[in-house]
Structure 1
Amino acid sequence: MRRPSKDSTPKLSAESLRLASLSQAIVQVASRVEERVLERHLDTHLQKLLKTSHQDSIDASLNMLFKDDLAAYDVLMDGVEAISESSTMVEMQDGVEVTWQALLVAAPILAWTRFTIASGPIPGEIMTTLSAHFSAHLLAEGTRLAIAPTLYAIDQLPRTHAEAYAMTHKLAQSAHKGSAIKAPARAPDTAPFLADTRYLLAVIIAPQGAPMFRWQEPAHHVNFVAERSKALEQWRTQATPTLARLMPGCGIEVLLPEAYYVACREADKLVRPVSIRAAVHYLTNVLGVEAADLRAVIAGFGEEAADGQVDEYRVSFTLRQTADVVYGIVWPLYGQEDEDGTPMNGLQPGAPGSEPVLVTPVDEIIGHLKEVGINHVKKIGERYVAEYCDDCGAPLFADPGGELVHAEMPEDTPEGTEHFH
């Protein structure tokens, strides 16, 4: 189950009602044949709305279904993501129609630093190298590739399904024709973080029904998992030195390129523990203390009233002898995650012979804090409405007494280290 936008639900238009009705019908069918017929109708309607940038109609349906019918909500969300990250093209080859299928993929890079994580245009020579490694180690035979010549921060990615749809079609045409892609004149500014994710965006095209990735080829069906792991290892080995040139002063971890939305969600989850490690490394070095000299405070936040759901945890860091919050990180919850943990992804093996243990997000956060040497951790029982600084927009964090404050480094901190969020 995915979380909807927080906007209030407007009165549904005819287009929104049709999306909701088709999604509910798909849930109720009794056969794959019926399901695929209805899915084609849903896809056609989504194509029309995305092509004309009617994102509001889609959002209204999603918000309504999230409240009233979670199964139908998942159907619609899967549908709109699939349509916005894919396309088809038809061409004539020797008098025969050939259909190409296109898929928007993201190649995430986890990065951490005490300085600045770069983003923006990628030089031509580096683009050539990355494209060669991408094709050689990840793609199936007979595919074509177009990589956008930009290293994207998360707040520079397409913000809506309609924007993702437009990017997919733009890159698909480039991959099909072999034409160059022009980088945007200026990407939006991005907030500096000690740990963050950067993305390469690309479109792969292949003949309809043919595999796109190397591990999906028929020869690897028996050892799919091993071939996928091998491809990732080769991609990491070859791409990491080149990507490191784009992000000087950073430690990086290259993740497996996958379909756009899946890759982004996986990167969002994996960067969270990296943020904790980067924060503690930063604080111990800048403040000249040991990890054991720090205290962490964990508090749950949401967009609704204090008795609503937790959407994210905010982790404050103080020195043990003071209550002043010197730094903070945000640990957002995604998908089926909630404050109590979920059976799908929250079970961890227990002691030999015992039942698996349900691990909550707070348990996971505390585990990562202890791994880096912070043993003094306080959990605030109160649930807060998510608040931000009126001046700079930074999130507010709970201090040990439960008061929401702005994270501020001590006045004697060396210059150039206080600008991180």
Structure 2
Amino acid sequence: MRRPNKDSQARLSAESLRLVGSAQAVVQAASRYEERYLERSLDGLLQKVLKGNHQEQIDAALNHLFSNDLAAYDALMEAVEANSESMQLELEENGVAVKYDCILVVAPILAWTRFSIASGAIPADLLATLSMHLQAHMLADGAKLALSPNLYSIDQMPRSHGEAYTLTQRLAQAALKSSTLSPSKKLPEAAPFLADTRYLIAAVAVPHGQPFFRWQMAQHQANFAEVKKIALEAWREQALPNLGRMLPGCGLELLLPEAYYIACREADKAIRPVSVRAAVHFITHTLGRPPEDFCAAIAGFGEEMSEGQVDEYRISFLIKDEPQVVYGVVWPIYGMDEEDAANQGLSPSGARRATVDVICNLLQEAGVTDIKRYSERFAPEYCDDCGTPLFVDLDADLAHPEMPDDTPAGGAHLH
């Protein structure tokens, strides 16, 4: 999604200008060797900025390039993410300094429930068990691992590239020293959703130039896809029963542990259909009605300045023949969705239709077959009192979702 042009070259700091120039130079490289040299130069600039936690300098450079040079924007964003989720450290072994490559890894957990989804400190015995299974099933031989002693919600994850860099450094050093970090006591409260993602975060360290994951090892590269599939199946089989201890009353699905940013993006995409199914399950059980007693309305929402772009779909649930929206789910649209659509040759309107078709299919599979689609785009509005998104009713008016007055107490939020 394009950002508004809030900056200009004249307003950029000297450090931001250097980042802009370096990113543009990478894009204009005429050979692979030249590109690698320029990437190393950009990496050096970014490591200084990240170490000083000067996120504003990175953001200013990204905003400028987003408005003026999308190719350089992509190059800078890729470099920022790479440098905040990975680094090189040295460890003295037998009097010799050995260089290690380190990367921040996330193992996403999709969870859904009618109650609450836990987060926070992981018991020491569970932490040791999960570390053992990650090491045994996912990591390459010789890899060192440090698993964070916290189970994170999205609200508790690093909120900037600088924070991600700091976490990478702390966990990478723990991996090299075979030490364990203490659970954080300052994590914010997790928002109460019925379907949400939880994250195990770890650092993996390997001798310089060696593979991180089992399927990247030389003997597995010829059939890496099959080895990756087997590794994921083994991780799910071993980790699910253990994670059930910390996430009681939840349905769980484990995604492939991968590098920090790609794993988070895959989790963002994967939780959307889970949220739709969880919503239908919740309203049918809470209100004691079968799915066919409900209807749904799907509407696209986007800012007025975004020239027809849909930023999210809001799915309204109503009891048939009753006007009130009883529940709502938000289906956000990400940049990777737009890229996938473009790769499939879909126009923006075609991509919107395809997304709505996916949502409709999920609703129908869950038993809600009376579905209204709105072709017009709505401006995103929220409740002034509680911040809840407003959803479209069957008269195309925006409404606050409210369960009937006689609904049993204790329902969780999902929006």
Cα 1:419–1:311 change in 2 (3 A) is closer
Task: Please tell me whether the aligned partners of residues 3 and 66 of structure 2 are also in contact (alpha carbons under 8 angstroms).
Answer: no
- Size of the aligned set, in residue pairs, is 410
Alignment equivalent of 1:394, drawn from 385, 388, 394: 388
Deviates more, 1:219-228 or 1:96-105: 96-105
Deviations 1:65-89 (A, max 9, x none): 1222211111111100000001111
Deviates more, 1:266-275 or 1:175-184: 175-184
Deviations 1:317-359 (A, max 9, x none): 1112112111111111112424x97132587xxxxxxxx9996
Task: Please tell me whether the aligned partners of residues 343 and 358 of structure 1 are also in contact (alpha carbons under 8 angstroms).
Answer: no
Corresponding letter in the other structure for 1:166: T
Deviates more, 1:197-206 or 1:311-320: 311-320
Structure 2: gaps (5+ residues): none
Corresponding letter in the other structure for 1:321: D
Task: Please tell me whether the aligned partners of residues 305 and 385 of structure 1 are also in contact (alpha carbons under 8 angstroms).
Answer: no
Task: Please tell me whether the aligned partners of residues 301 and 314 of structure 2 are also in contact (alpha carbons under 8 angstroms).
Answer: yes
Task: Please tell me whether the aligned partners of residues 148 and 183 of structure 2 are also in contact (alpha carbons under 8 angstroms).
Answer: yes
TM-score scaled by length of structure 2:
0.94
Separation (CA, whole Å) in 2 of partners of 1:6 and 1:82: 25
Deviations 1:226-279 (A, max 9, x none): 000000000000000001111011000011100000000001001100001000
Separation (CA, whole Å) in 1 of partners of 2:241 and 2:316: 34
State the Cα distance separating 1:382 from its structure 2 match.
2.7
Alignment equivalent of 1:377, drawn from 338, 348, 371: 371
Separation (CA, whole Å) in 2 of partners of 1:361 and 1:65: 29
Task: Please tell me whether the aligned partners of residues 307 and 383 of structure 1 are also in contact (alpha carbons under 8 angstroms).
Answer: no
Structure 1: gaps (5+ residues): 348-355
Aligned pairs (5 A) from 1:72-221: 72-221=72-221
Cα 1:115–1:345 change in 2 (3 A) is farther
3-state SS of paired residue (2:30): coil
User: Where does residue 29 of structure 1 map in the other structure?
Assistant: 29
State the Cα distance separating 1:50 from its structure 2 match.
0.7
Separation (CA, whole Å) in 1 of partners of 2:332 and 2:86: 27
TM-score scaled by length of structure 1:
0.93
User: Where does residue 400 of structure 2 map in the other structure?
Assistant: 406
Separation (CA, whole Å) in 2 of partners of 1:278 and 1:297: 17
Cα 1:9–1:408 change in 2 (3 A) is farther
Corresponding letter in the other structure for 1:311: D
3-state SS of paired residue (1:243): helix
Corresponding letter in the other structure for 1:216: Q
Cα 1:224–1:201 change in 2 (3 A) is same
Q: Tell whether 2:224 aligns with 1:230.
A: no
Separation (CA, whole Å) in 2 of partners of 1:263 and 1:125: 25
Separation (CA, whole Å) in 2 of partners of 1:158 and 1:119: 15
User: Where does residue 411 of structure 2 map in the other structure?
Assistant: 417
Separation (CA, whole Å) in 1 of partners of 2:200 and 2:207: 23
User: Where does residue 252 of structure 1 map in the other structure?
Assistant: 252
3-state SS of paired residue (1:343): helix
State the Cα distance separating 1:418 from its structure 2 match.
5.5
Separation (CA, whole Å) in 2 of partners of 1:135 and 1:200: 14
Deviates more, 1:110-119 or 1:357-366: 357-366
Task: Please tell me whether the aligned partners of residues 342 and 358 of structure 1 are also in contact (alpha carbons under 8 angstroms).
Answer: no
State the Cα distance separating 1:213 from its structure 2 match.
0.7
Q: How much identity, in percent, do the aligned residues show?
A: 55
Q: What root-mean-square deviation, in Å, do the aligned CA atoms of Structure 1 and Structure 2 show? A: 2.0
User: Where does residue 350 of structure 1 map in the other structure?
Assistant: none
